[in-house]
Amino acid sequence: MNVNGIGTAGYPAWQAARKAQQNAAERSFAEQANNVAGAKPHTSIVYMKTDDMLYSGGNGTGLSFYIKYAEGSTEDDPTVIAKGVDENGNEFEQTIHINKINPRNASLVEMTALESYMGVDKNGGLTSLPPETGMMGLHDRTNFMDMFQKQISDMKLLSQKKAAAHYQYSMQAYWDFMNKK
């Protein structure tokens, strides 16, 4: 019903009509999104940490995994197994030889394995790694040392001296690892 240009919802008639169109478009989009052929609903898997795990966690992409020592791991060749799901919900398993990790070209899973193995101080947080790792997928590789340097620079620019010192400490731990190889 329209009285002097005012629609029944208390809006001008043209605004009420536009609102109805928007609602229909939103429903149509939602229906299309839900009906995409082969689409799986997004689920998150969280692995609860057990005593035999070095690590259990993930990041904002949906990547979720845990890390345990591999059978046959030795002091000279520490080896871990990472198991979990990637950002697309696909299961994965990787064997990682700690001494072969190169922080200048590593995946998030490799660096998390190294961090866990070395026991790098997380300063009360979930990780010692820079926040940009929160968007890395399973197969993404990056130069973590450059990432640390950028984070330290950003923290200094923001006068966040404690955060800059923490990232400097973390970066130094990984430099020490690379230098002893």
> Higher pLDDT residue, 51 or 41?
51
Residue 13 has pLDDT above 70, yes or no: no
Residue 131: predicted pLDDT? 92
Residue 166: predicted pLDDT? 94
Whole-model pTM: value is 0.74
Question: How far is it, in rounded angstroms, from Cα 135 to Cα 163?
Answer: 20
Query: What's the pLDDT tens digit per position in 135-176?
Result: 999 999 999 999 999 999 999 999 999 999 999 999 999 999
Question: How far is it, in rounded angstroms, from Cα 92 to Cα 100?
Answer: 20
Residue 34 has pLDDT above 60, yes or no: no
Query: What's the pLDDT tens digit per position in 49-86?
Result: 889 999 999 998 999 999 999 999 999 999 999 999 99
Say whether 7 sits in a helix, a strand or coil.
strand
Query: What's the pLDDT tens digit per position in 96-132?
Result: 999 999 999 999 999 999 999 999 988 888 889 999 9
Spell out the alpha helix ranges (H) of 40-127: 108-118
Residue 9: predicted pLDDT? 54
Q: How confident is the model at residue 177 (pLDDT cuts 50, 70, 90)?
A: very high
> Higher pLDDT residue, 45 or 84?
84
Which of 102, 123, 126, 131 is closest to 114 using CA atoms?
Answer: 102
Residue 5 has pLDDT above 80, yes or no: no
| Ranges of each domain in the chain | 2-34, 53-180
Q: In this structure, what DSSP letter does residue 99 have?
A: G
